[in-house]
Amino acid sequence: MSGILIRRLGVMLLTLAINWVFGQTLVYEPVSYSNVQITDPFWKSRLDKIASATIPACVEQTEIKTPRIRNFEVAAGTRPGKFEGIFYDDSDVFKALEAIAYSLKNNPNPELEKKADEWIDKIAAAQLPDGYINTYYTLTGLDKRWTDMSMHEDYNGGHLIEAAVAYYQTTGKRKLLDVSIRFANHFDSLFGPGKRNWVTGHQELELALVKLYKVTDDKRYLDLADWLLSQRGQKLAVGYTWTEWRDTAYAQDVMPVKKQREITGHAVRAMYLYTGAADVAALTGDVEYMEAMKAVWEDVVYRNLYITGGIGSSGRNEGFSVDYDLPNMQAYCETCASVGMVFWNQRMNMLTGESQYIDVLERSLYNGAQSGLSLSGDRFFYGNPLASSGSHYRREWFGTACCPANIARLTASVGDYIYGVSDDGLFVNLFIGSSTMVTLQKKEVQINQETSYLKDGKSTLTLNPKSKLKFTLHIRIPGWASGKPVPGDLYSFNRSSSPPTTILVNGKQIQYVNKNGYALISREWKKGDQVEVRFPMEVMEIVANEKVLQDKDRIALQRGPLVYCVEGADNNNRAWNFIVPENALYTVSNNPQLPEGFPVIRFDAPVIEMDNQGQSVQTVTKTITAIPYFLWNNRGQNEMQVWLPRKIKGIRINPEN
């Protein structure tokens, strides 16, 4: 047998082995939001606010204050006019519909569902007979469609598909799903092996096609997603209008996805790309995708992650610059990028069963993402800096309005990230008060979770199998509860150990096996069994790697999963005029002015004050109050810092913008 044939046979056998192993696909399957009832006081209030304020704001902006819905009416010929707005504005309509779909599950609302159906009718009417749908090209010249890969036709289509799948799963209505299928079939008729090449300018369609495959069981959508991934890095980008960005890896198109090892370019594009790659890897067993994603993930988390879970330090490219470049006041940290971190890290966790990915997901979810939504629900951050002189504030909308509907759809679908089911048991990833019914070994098990996780670190699970059932309960032990803020050495706690997590079963403390960051409890479970988890909730000081020059001689504060900041609203309108002393003593108390009486952290510190004439300064000791970072800027524009100075040189009496 020739050497070439031997090598081919070896590759074939390896592929078969890989597909056999990974053909078991995921370590667990997530329990869908549609099967989870959220009872958690904090998250229930967020979901209610999404329903009562955020979605109405999105509807008003989409339908009345901006021309997004009008564009569909004009494209359908039911209204005179021309295209108005930006060429990717269709995507905001689809994201709003997706958020509406999730919200209808949490808060049924016949009037909102009627409004969504009206929008869907207008979208369907604007679709061309061949399945193409894009109001910009329909109204400005169909002869130019599919000629410029940077014009978001496929990105818009991806969000159409995601909205359609969500709306179908919530309501059972197929109209938007059928629109999305026709669009996907149209795209498939033009692009793919033996057809035209195409490199998505803004990744999104890849992950959406996998969702469509799961709903329809039509494998060509999975194949098309895989093909789109394979197009990147092949020098096929004829037709880009942003070639100069491509050459700097702006859209992760310098090398094939399977060979990528470093994070580059636009942060949101990257998150959607790697989420799609993880989805494809889970269904095809392609270990090359996994190898690439693991390496890129480590590059993000070990060298390019903010302590808030935000990513993308540079506003110039809305993304990454160089390793360890993590400025605070200039941090970009787009809300959509933190949303993407939640998507990607969930997929990585499902593929590997390693809790470190949920550690990062939780950090991004509670801090980097939720910061993007105000307590009132109708004001938003596009970028989420870690310091402010008072110039940063939330807006009611943006010209590029991707973030409002994006944070709305993530928050409304938080039930997607709590539980998972495997062949041998149940995974508990997030400690959010909720209930669900799962099927284990063909038997139903009711799960109720009651938690005061954010206040005192406690969570209680009540398991109610219909009959006695032996299975393994996998309870995630967060990295922050085990002495490590995030994987790698980018950040560390100022002390090396913390009290252990305690687990009690039916009131009796147990010893548990810790595997991949999960406490494993294997036993025969009966109706009414309770598992109580108690996490240590000390105030932790965090220090950054010395390579992060912007955080030198500074500390950040964390309690539980929440990163804290000092805001002027609590500290005489100043947040830059003090230093944190060594061995500071921290106290924790609930603040009735914050939602659910959120705990605040207080400590005494030397404060530099200037007299009224600005002629002299004095040092006095005052009590400094720190609040959860995601809550800042809900009481007007004022100063804020996450990374607090330890030395006098870090003080700024009048911080510059």
The tens digit of pLDDT for each residue in 533-583 reads: 999 999 999 999 999 999 999 999 999 999 999 999 999 999 999 999 999
Q: Which pTM was predicted? A: 0.94
Output the CA torsion 406→412→414→415 (10° steps). Answer: -140
Of the two residues 614 and 19, the one the predictor is more confident about is 614
Inter-residue contact 477 to 464 (CB < 8 Å): no
Chain mean pLDDT for the chain:
92
**Residue 18 backbone zone (phi > 0: left; psi -120 to 50: alpha; other: beta):** alpha
Half-sphere exposure for 488 (CA within 13 Å, toward CB): 22
Q: Is 5 exposed, middle or buried (0-12, 13-18, 19+ CB in 10 A)?
A: exposed
**CA 161 to each of CA 58, 184, 214, 217, 325: distance values in angstroms, whole numbers, following the listed order:** 19, 8, 12, 14, 36
Residue 15 confidence (pLDDT) above 60: no
Region 143-147 average pLDDT: 95
**Per annotation, catalytic residue among 333, 336, 402, 403:** 402
Question: Other CB atoms closer than 10 Å to residue 300's CB: what's the count?
Answer: 23
Residue 253, pLDDT score? 87
pLDDT, one tens digit per residue, over 342-400 is 999 999 999 999 999 999 999 999 999 999 999 999 999 999 999 999 999 999 999 99
Residues 6+ apart with CB under 8 A from 654: none
Q: Express as a percent the part of the chain with pLDDT over 70.
A: 92
494-510 pLDDT, tens per residue?
976 678 999 999 999 99
Both tokens assigned to 371: 């910061």
What is the predicted pLDDT for the residue at 420? 97
Is residue 333 part of the annotated active site? The answer reads: no
Which amino acid is residue 474, in one-letter code? H
What is the distance of C-alpha 30 from the center of its chain?
A: 16
Share of the chain above pLDDT 90, in %: 84
- Strand partners of residue 307: none
Let me know if 204 is a catalytic residue: no
Q: How many whole angstroms separate alpha carbon 63 and alpha carbon 174? A: 23
Cα 521 from Cα 510, distance rounded (Å): 9
Q: Is 334 helix (H, G, I), strand (E, B) or coil?
A: coil
The one catalytic residue among 98, 204, 206, 318: 318
**Contact (Cβ atoms closer than 8 angstroms) between residue 150 and residue 201:** yes
* Domains delineated in the chain: 66-241 (no CATH), 420-476+500-534 (2.60.40.1180), 539-650 (no CATH)
